[in-house]
Amino acid sequence: MIMDKPKLEWNEKYSVKVGLIDGQHKNLFNTINRLIDLLGGIPSKEQIDGIIQSLVEYKKDHFATEEKYFDEFNYQGAEEHKKKHREFNQKLEEIVQSNNENSLATAYKLADFLEDWLIDHLMTEDQKYITCFQEHGLR
């Protein structure tokens, strides 16, 4: 089941107008694109584990960054946004657990989940905090 999956491209419409956070989001695009590259062949469990490790590091750093500013700025949407982060963690954990069975299936599940989550999260949830962050001078 080898398939050509289009890569994700960064677009300014995804920007949250904060350099640090946009940079983190771009790193996630790169990780997803590395995963998409693996789908052109038969990825090994080790390759998928490497992607998963990148995702674990990404989410830890990125969610901590956003949540630090939510708390610091008393962002009104903080609890709902943190809930979305917990849901991401839970879903990623479910996919990670399945990596022992079939790496190719895991890779596809992971790619589909990440693409859907990333675009939806960037275009809805993350856009909501732009005004708050800018009002506090974050660029």
- The CATH number linked to 98 is 1.20.120.50
Confidence at residue 2, expressed as pLDDT on a 0 to 100 scale: 46
Count of domains in the chain?
A: 1
- The answer to whether position 63 is within a domain reads yes
Separation in Å, CA 119 to CA 13, 41, 132? 10, 25, 21
Distance of alpha carbon 133 from alpha carbon 54, whole angstroms: 27
**Model-level pTM?**
0.89
Instruction: Return the closest-CA partner of residue 48 out of 132, 121, 105, 125.
Output: 105
Q: Which residue range forms the structural domain that includes residue 100? A: 18-135
- The answer to whether position 50 is within a domain reads yes
Distance of alpha carbon 44 from alpha carbon 91, whole angstroms: 21
Share of the chain above pLDDT 70, in %: 96
**What is the amino acid identity at position 126?**
D
pLDDT digits (tens, 9 = 90+) for 89-117: 999 998 888 777 677 788 888 888 998 88
Confidence at 82, pLDDT banded by 50, 70, 90: very high
